[in-house]
Amino acid sequence: MVVMDRPYFHEIFAPVLENPIFVQGLPGFGNVGKIAAHLLIKFCGAKPFAEFYAPYFPDYVSVDSGGVCRLPKYEFYAAPMERNDFIIMTGDTQPSFEDVVAHYEICSEILDSVVKHGCSLVITMGGVPTAENNAQVYVAATSPRLAMEFMEKGAKLYVKGRVVGATGLLLGMAKERGLDGVCLLGATTGFKADRGAGFSVFKFLMKALGNEMKEGL
């Protein structure tokens, strides 16, 4: 029995990966990050290897088509690939924005875990609200060098703004740990699920990392 008084990981299997890139996409503006993460999972044929639970998540359960309920969670997927190995994280929700300590504790636990798996590059994905849908992808990074690398691939520099929730905080905490980090933000017009913006971020990520796209996504 697990006592839900602190965050914890449930490991399904131990993946064997070589210097994987950690990619995160959670619910947020237009659900852009989560949509992009699921497209990446499909593209890579990634397998779930761990689940993360925390008492800071909202007090509800998700109920599937068979009437079975479960707690909110983050899921970690492993994808050994020819060019880049990935650890991909997505999930149901985020802690309340008012619970700042929860965000810091959860992001710290996540970084502890991915560092143990050998990750040295953190990529977070999300949405940025704009007046018009222009399929633009914006970039913020932990160094000018990384920002320039992704700008040269077609991203526009995200300046003088904020990146809220785990999408931003993971990047800032990764920098403090000496890790490289990049945030990719897809332009979205609203709060409804924006598959177009999610696909733009996914497509740009694949281009930036030199991966060939499959048909039918």
In the structure, what pLDDT confidence band is assigned to residue 126 with cuts at 50, 70 and 90? very high
The mean pLDDT value of the chain amounts to 91
For the entire predicted model, the pTM comes to 0.93
pLDDT digits (tens, 9 = 90+) for 169-185: 999 999 999 999 999 99
What is the token pair recorded at 31?
């659900």
CATH placement of domain 8-209: 3.40.50.10900
Check whether 215 has a pLDDT greater than 70. Answer: no
Sorted by where each begins, the domain ranges of the chain are: 8-209
Report whether 75 contacts 110 (CB < 8 A). no
% of the chain residues with pLDDT over 90: 74
Report whether 188 contacts 130 (CB < 8 A). yes
Report whether 169 contacts 109 (CB < 8 A). no
Q: How far is residue 15's CA from residue 36's CA, in Å, rounded to a whole number? A: 22
Q: How far is residue 87's CA from residue 111's CA, in Å, rounded to a whole number? A: 12
